[in-house]
Every structure is written in structure tokens, then in C-alpha cells.
Amino acid sequence: MGSEDILPDYVAPDLRTVFCGMAAGPRSAELGLYYAGRGNRFWPVLFRAGLVPEPLAVGDEARLLALGIGLTDLAKGAWGMDAAVPAAAHDADRLARFVEIWRPRSLAFNGKRAAQVFLGVKRLGYGQFDHDGLPVWVLPSTSGAASRYWDEAVWRDFGEALQGRG
């Protein structure tokens, strides 16, 4: 774990949504690519949930951005499994500034932990929430380590909502 960003933000003005994870996983940190872990469902579920018009794969961050979807993490300078990321690495203030500057039309958390830290709550369900007028979605983690909590239906609900916002 270091003080520099492990993965760059993929961001532009007026994105349909920005996905936010806790931190880069071990494989993502090694390769410098988002959601690169073996067994991670992120890239395949984007298409199945109707979030993108074509299947994407690890390394398609720029293509995803061109489709109006950005990527960031709550702990930019740390990597590892969510539970192993030290609390000192969590930067909810940076994420709040990020949202204020870039103004995505929604913010989607890939997993509960980053959302709990950002929203300042201990318990949180999946689905859509409002945060200061911004639609925030909390989605089941795509990490293979979180398989027992996987529910693709919430991702499909998000896909339908995002299509409605166009």
C-alpha cells in the first residue's frame, strides 16, 4: 500500500454514473486495471444488466468511459480486500469533492463497505438511495470473495434505472 493512487480515476463531465469500489484488489493493483481479479463479475455483469450495449472485459476502462460510465475508489492509495484496507486510507472527503467537481448523474457503489464509509452509516441495504439530491446505488460486490452475497437482480434494477435516465 502506498501514498500514490493505485488506479487512476476514469472520469469526465456529465457521466451517467460512476462506479466506486473500496480500493483496488490485489490483482487490479498488480495489473493496473479495474476489477481484474479472477472470478470478479464486474465486466460481464455490465452487459447482462443492460448498463452497456456490448460485452466488455478487463482493460476496457476507456471504452466504459466512452459509454458514459466512470470508475473510482474510496481508498485511492491502498489496495487489498475491503476488510484489509486500513480506515486511515478511506477518503470520503475526496469522493465528495470528486462528485461535486464532476457531477455524475448517479453514483454506484460496488459493494456495501465503501458506501457505508461514504454515507457515514453502519448498516445499509442494497438498492437506490438519495444523497443530497444525487441518486446513489449500493450494489452487491462483484468480487469473487463476496459470492455468498451476490444478487444480479439488484444490478439489473440499476441498469433499468440508468436506461430511464439515458
Rounded-to-integer distance, Cα 24 and Cα 29, Å: 6
Q: Per residue in 132-154, pLDDT tens?
A: 999 999 999 998 776 777 789 99
* Residue 82 pLDDT grade (very low, low, confident, very high; cuts 50, 70, 90): low
- The residue type of 76 is K
- State the pLDDT at residue 166: 42
Q: Per residue in 84-95, pLDDT tens?
A: 777 677 788 999
Q: What is the mean pLDDT of residues 36-59?
A: 96
Rounded-to-integer distance, Cα 124 and Cα 103, Å: 24
- The pTM assigned to this predicted structure is 0.91
Q: Per residue in 91-116, pLDDT tens?
A: 889 999 999 999 999 999 999 989 99
